[in-house]
Structure 1
């Protein structure tokens, strides 16, 4: 599949994970309105098709394609990557947007702690599986949605699965710190390829995050903060900027807030920890066990 609408992103192909609602849907709409062909993912195909049709109509661009994928499943992420490779001869932008907040500890089908698996490992695996296609069409961009919550996060290499006293806030902050560290390590590994890697804090946004398993404290805090939160459209602005703006071309290894580079937490710049996290992540998703070396 090629094509798209007219506009500054015409001829570009973009994949936005978690594109059926919230920031992801607003990001997909913004990029489709700029003329890109946009692929979105969601867990339910019917719902994803409906979202794609709504985005296409609102953007005035019919080139919005739905893909079903449960990002908590490594097999589903691998299948998604293959479907994307089969569908698109080139991929210009990957927006790792899918993520969430869960109050109670649960394990995925792969035996991974759910928050870490969805918020970090899924994007890590998908990015690696699509890297060759992104490199082939360079210049290309990888944008990963993190959060200011990363600043309170800590990568506990002795308990990445949060087996010892699960805290939803701690698990979320750890996963978002992993997003930032992954981006910085990815940028180092992609040096000279023409593929950039950036990450961002979208701001506090009125979305459906946490509604699946919110917990009492989350519900209370969210209801109190709701009047102060951004709309999904406002929250998507930085993702859209990093995915499409000529001003962001070639910028890599940076963390953005309100479409401007900003320093992330001190621990996020620990290169040794980032390299260790990369290797452990590769092992957890089977990139090394299958004889596939992480890029």
Structure 2
């Protein structure tokens, strides 16, 4: 779910009808997953944050395509419930749960180690897990929690699994970003909490900008390997991601919910990047919520900034000391 953070009383009362109309107009995607014939028999996929919302819908679709589908979830209880639901709905027994907390680098390393030990291939990695509305906090590993969950954890996970992705090529990395990346800022001090983004929910927007920059630099480094990397916006989607917000924000969300995309509709752009023939061979790009190539913000296209962020991320995750 992505809800513009700038709207707060009294302005939202005046803008509510217009926003509702805009949300309704963008509910439909130009690409329909159910019309895509892609079959993933013999292939393995990982979807992070797959126990609910967009992630569960993505995992459901990939399981319907006969993929071995690994749900990477923080909660064993909610993750196992999602596994059982997806198995029952798709008839695919090769749907499994692996515990992963992207906010913990130790958890990311343990998850990646298990995947490398137990899986012979990896064809699609969907970095979907994310959070918004959390208070500022530093983790036991010295990282700011929102930036760890939304950006540094996925950065480390992807890098740890790159060799397996390359060995399985053609393979795809899909990073779920947001249209809100356009109001984000990049300061490597944000990653450790030395500095804080200043605006309302600015941490979320900044992590989503980092996701796009990471995607661009990853794609540059993957040239010639057969592995592609793309970022996308799911649009404004009705999910449970607002649970950490104030009652005012949740009330606004509730009023707009009927006009938003469902989780299934919001999953379309992720599924498009993961399986569509149209996206095959495309790398380093950003897709909008209608599954169309779009130009990200000027900051997201700054190659020097992408390299600087990558290098800082390597240091913070320990990747400069080769795993």
TM-score strictly above 0.5? yes
1:147 aligns with 2:171: no
How many pairs align?
285
C-alpha distance in structure 2 between counterparts of 1:181 and 1:149, whole Å = 14
> Which residue of structure 2 lines up, in the alignment, with residue 255 of structure 1?
286
> Is 1:37 equivalent to 2:56 in the alignment?
no
Unaligned runs of 5+ in 1: 1-5
Q: 1:110 to 1:158 in 2, by over 3 A?
A: closer
Q: Indicate which of 35, 42, 47 corresponds to 1:11.
A: 42
| Structure 1 residues 109 and 40, CA gap change in structure 2 (3 angstroms) | same
**Cα offset, 1:45, TM superposition:** 1.5
Displacement after TM superposition at 1:157 (Å): 3.4
Cα distance, 1:137 vs structure 2 = 0.8
Q: Deviations over 1:207-231 (max 9, x none)?
A: 11131x2234532332232121111
1:3 maps to what in 2? none
Q: Offset of 1:112 from its aligned partner?
A: 0.8
Gaps of 5+ in 2: 1-36
Superposed displacement of residue 102, structure 1:
2.3
Any residues of structure 2 matched to 1:158-173 within 5 Å, and which?
158-160=189-191, 161=193, 163-164=195-196, 167=199, 169-173=201-205
Residue 241 of structure 1, CA deviation: 1.3
- Tell me, what secondary structure is at the counterpart of 2:296? coil
Superimposed CA distance per residue, residues 45-101 of structure 1 (whole angstroms, 9 cap, x where no aligned partner): 132112111111111211101011222110000001011112210000000000010
Match of 1:66 among 97, 101, 111: 97
Question: Displacement of 1:141 after TM fit?
Answer: 0.2
Matched, 1:273 2:278: no
Offset of 1:163 from its aligned partner? 3.7
Match of 2:56 among 12, 25, 34: 25
Structure 1 segment 1-295 matched on structure 2, within 5 A: 8-160=39-191, 161=193, 163-164=195-196, 167=199, 169-211=201-243, 213-257=244-288, 258-288=290-320, 291-292=321-322
Q: 1:80 and 1:127 mapped to 2: Cα distance?
A: 11
- Tell whether the 8 Å contact from 1:153 to 1:177 is kept in structure 2 after alignment: yes
Answer whether contact 1:104 1:166 (CA < 8 A) is retained.
no
**CA deviation after TM superposition for structure 1 residue 162, in Å:** 6.1
Deviation of the 1:146 alpha carbon: 0.2
Runs of 4+ with deviation above 4 angstroms = 164-168
1:156, distance to aligned residue in structure 2 (A): 2.1
Does the 8 Å contact 1:100/1:118 carry over to 2? Answer: yes
- CA distance 1:7–1:238, shift in 2 (3 Å): closer
- 1:22 Cα deviation after fit: 0.2
